[in-house]
Chain A
Amino acid sequence: MALRMWASSTANALKLSTNPKSSLLVSPAFSLSRCFSTVLEGFKYASSHEWVKHEGSVATIGITDHAQDHLGEVVFVELPEAGKSVTGGDSFGAVESVKATSDVNSPISGEVIEVNSKLSETPGLINSSPYEDGWMIKVKPSNPSELESLLGPKEYTKFCEEEDASH
């Protein structure tokens, strides 16, 4: 698991595809290939499939590789303005893919200090680089202890596998 995550993070940095797909038996009406999505060390994760990278007084937030894979090609991103407050667990924006808008939820509470303006012209960055160029907002956390209740990489990987297996 650790080797795969290291390989994934390195390959991700090199912008290489890291998603070998594995099909498992599921109900034909809802079948999706199971994907060993990239999960990076040093990040925290929400069960609603957002990630947080906390560096000093800034937390960067985006959606995970698992989420972007399940959502499909992102064609539009709705983001808040800098200065707005976000609340842990609540929606701060949305992405559009496959005729659907999907809420994106902030894992933590705080003030938005920067928004990724590249996403308005190139929303597909969320698919091609969910943990780097596809970041969505930077937040000044108001309650850093909220990070402790988020999932670590191994817990999140297990959560994704269990979620996919149960559907």
Chain B
Amino acid sequence: MALSQTRSIGLPLINLIRLKGESILHQLHLEEMLLRTSSDNWCIINDGTIDPTIVMGVSGKPVELLEIESVLRDEIPVIRRFTGGGTVIVDQGTIFVTFICNKDAVPGLQSYPRPIMSWSSLIYKNVFQGIGDFSLRENDYVLGNHKFGGNAQSITKARWIHHTSFLWDYEISNMAYLKLPKRIPDYRQARDHLEFICRMKDYIPRSSFIDRTIHAVGSHFRLRSPEPEAIQTPLGTKFEPSSRILRKQDLEEAIMKSPMANHVAQSL
């Protein structure tokens, strides 16, 4: 028996889906559907998304997080996703890696935010072994003290999802759409976006990152390719995804209702 087969005996199964250039909204809909209607474990890797898109967490407030007027002017789509966490702008330079698991898939892992986050860092510690000074720092993946990926999670009664958008590369001009968030980790130390983040491409080739990630996943799970019908909503299941694109009207209303807008209105 091959060594890799011997290694994987006894490990839980995980379905591996590899996408390239998939729309981030479609990816989020797929993920939420699999979280809520499937009983399998899943690893989804989406190598880039075509159109630059802003993705906020479930509780994100556009007026606090975005330069809305620039976003409206340049018609950048804004999505509110179903998981927690902060705001990212994603594009072709972003690599997405997602884990969707049953709560008992990983032995000894409690399905709470911090243990799941800590477990995920073991995968990437493996990926970056010998390549960069990787660590999980205040819930961010960093190389040194520079963040290179945004994490978010959602936990249900029996399952959890942990997904990451990795900055393999990014456009400096896109970062201008994002404001400095109110809640920032201590290690950020008031650095602006460009001083705080780094590009993964300065450390590792794109295909190597994906290959090494799949290999690292294989040390925790037995990988398999799913049947196409496994990726569909099961017949008779009622499921509506909650991630949605904010309408232009939603963003305009956010500006109108903002404290600054009210202050200007009162002083007129």
Contact = CB atoms under 8 A, between A and B. Distances in A.
Interface stretch (A69-77, A79-87, A138-146): A69-77
Contacts, number: 85
B58 A99 contact: no
A3 interface: no
Nearest to B115: A30
Interface residues of B, number: 29
A72 B118 CA distance: 14
Interface stretch (A6-14, A37-45, A56-64, A101-109): A101-109
B145 to A, nearest CB: 19
Contacts of A166: 108
A129 interface: no
Interface string A142-167: 00000000000000000000011011
A30 B85 contact: no
B201 interface: no
B110 A100 contact: no
B156 interface: yes
Contacts of B114: 32, 70, 72, 98
B132 interface: no
B19 interface: no
B113 interface: yes
A22 B268 CA distance: 59
Max chain A C-beta neighbours (<10 A), residue from B112, B151, B152: B112
Interface string B82-111: 111110000000000000000000001110
B153 interface: yes
A100 B115 contact: no
Contacts of B86: 99
A27 B155 CA distance: 22
Contact of B154 (A48, A72, A100, A164): A100
A29 B59 contact: no
Interface residues of A, number: 27
Contacts of A105: 157
A102 B155 contact: yes
B117 A29 contact: no
Contacts of B151: 99
A78 B83 CA distance: 12
Nearest to B85: A99
Given A99-B139, A101-B82, A70 B153 contact: no
B108 A102 contact: no
B154 A101 contact: yes
B113 A167 contact: no
A34 B212 CA distance: 35
B116 A167 contact: no
Contact of B109 (A30, A163, A164): A30
B115 A103 contact: no
Given A98-B139, A98-B153, 6 more contacts: A29-B119, A30-B119, A32-B110, A99-B83, A100-B116, A102-B112
29 contacts: A27-B108, A30-B108, A30-B110, A48-B157, A70-B110, A72-B113, A75-B59, A76-B59, A91-B156, A96-B58, A98-B113, A98-B114, A98-B117, A98-B153, A99-B117, A99-B152, A100-B83, A100-B152, A101-B82, A101-B83, A101-B84, A101-B153, A102-B113, A102-B154, A103-B157, A164-B110, A166-B108, A167-B110, A167-B115
